[in-house]
């Protein structure tokens, strides 16, 4: 971050060369500001890093980079902007509207704006996926429809376990009053931006009980 002329903080705007190792660009800022979705499991090698453009001074782009084994993926949802998936390695199933696409790398899938979709990693090996949004604040809206690949995701609790572990670390670092809950005032930037999503019982605090119900 750089200081603006009026004393406030503004994102750095300059020509950037993204390092080959995504963690050199994305992970330090993510760790500093504590996102529940961004993670790096040193033991398994699974990771998910989201570079949401508004936090990097990017005008019209957001990038996600992930590598996991099988059984990972979000619930059905929509974005107000288009999304392009680049499957660089492995295999995955993409739900897009009423269609299901079974893809093996290398493959590209475009999802139009306001289209119900998700992705589920398959196979027995590693899966590498890069996702591009044409917005620096793509947002996401959950869709209450049956996920045809829920049974595959249910076989692995790794993604939810990672989010809960991340939240426990957040509590250690940001629960200033030590009550075992995270208030909006205590929440770091990336969690504050989606506080209502994580506070599932809408009581004004994020707790481990909330975390256990996250999708």
Query: Which position has the higher pLDDT, 83 or 33?
Result: 83
pLDDT at 3 > cutoff 50: no
What are the distances in angstroms from CA 22 to CA 30, 64, 130, 184?
12, 10, 11, 29
Tell me which of 110-114, 135-139, 150-154 is least confident.
Answer: 150-154
Quick: pLDDT tens for 84-105.
Answer: 999 999 999 999 999 999 999 9
More confident residue, 148 or 158: 148
Q: What is the dihedral of CA 76, 125, 45, 200, to 10 degrees?
A: 20
Who's near 73: CB < 8 A, 6+ residues apart?
92, 118, 119, 120, 121, 149, 153, 159
Specify the pTM.
0.65
- 19-38+157-215 and 52-152 share one CATH topology? no
Closest CA relative to residue 36, chosen from 150, 142, 195:
195
Domain 52-152 has CATH 2.60.120.10: yes
Which of these CATH numbers, 1.10.287, 1.10.3470, 1.10.238, 1.10.1060, describes 19-38+157-215? 1.10.238
Domain ranges of the chain: 19-38+157-215, 52-152
Each residue of 117-148: pLDDT tens digit?
A: 999 999 888 899 999 999 998 888 888 888 88
How far is residue 106 CA from its own chain's centroid?
22
**Cβ(26)–Cβ(35) under 8 Å?**
no
């Amino acid at each position: 971050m750089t200081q603006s002329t009026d004393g406030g903080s503004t994102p750095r705007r300059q020509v950037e060369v993204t390092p080959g190792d995504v963690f050199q660009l994305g992970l330090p800022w993510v760790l500093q500001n504590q996102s529940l979705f961004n993670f790096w499991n040193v033991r398994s090698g699974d990771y998910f890093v989201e570079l949401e453009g508004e936090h990097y001074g990017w005008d019209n782009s957001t990038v996600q980079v992930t590598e996991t084994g099988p059984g990972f993926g979000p619930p059905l949802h929509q974005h107000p902007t288009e999304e392009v998936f680049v499957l660089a390695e492995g295999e995955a199933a993409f739900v897009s509207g009423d269609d299901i696409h079974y893809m093996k790398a290398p493959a590209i899938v475009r999802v139009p704006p306001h289209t119900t979709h998700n992705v589920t990693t398959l196979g027995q090996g590693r899966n590498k996926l890069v996702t591009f949004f044409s917005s620096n604040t793509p947002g996401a809206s959950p869709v209450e429809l049956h996920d045809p690949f829920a049974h595959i995701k249910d076989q692995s609790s790794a993604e939810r376990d990672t989010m809960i572990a991340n939240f426990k670390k957040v509590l250690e670092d940001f629960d200033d009053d030590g009550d075992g809950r995270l208030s909006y005032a205590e929440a770091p930037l990336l969690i504050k931006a989606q506080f209502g999503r994580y506070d599932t019982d809408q009581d004004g605090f994020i707790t481990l009980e909330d975390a256990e119900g996250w999708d």
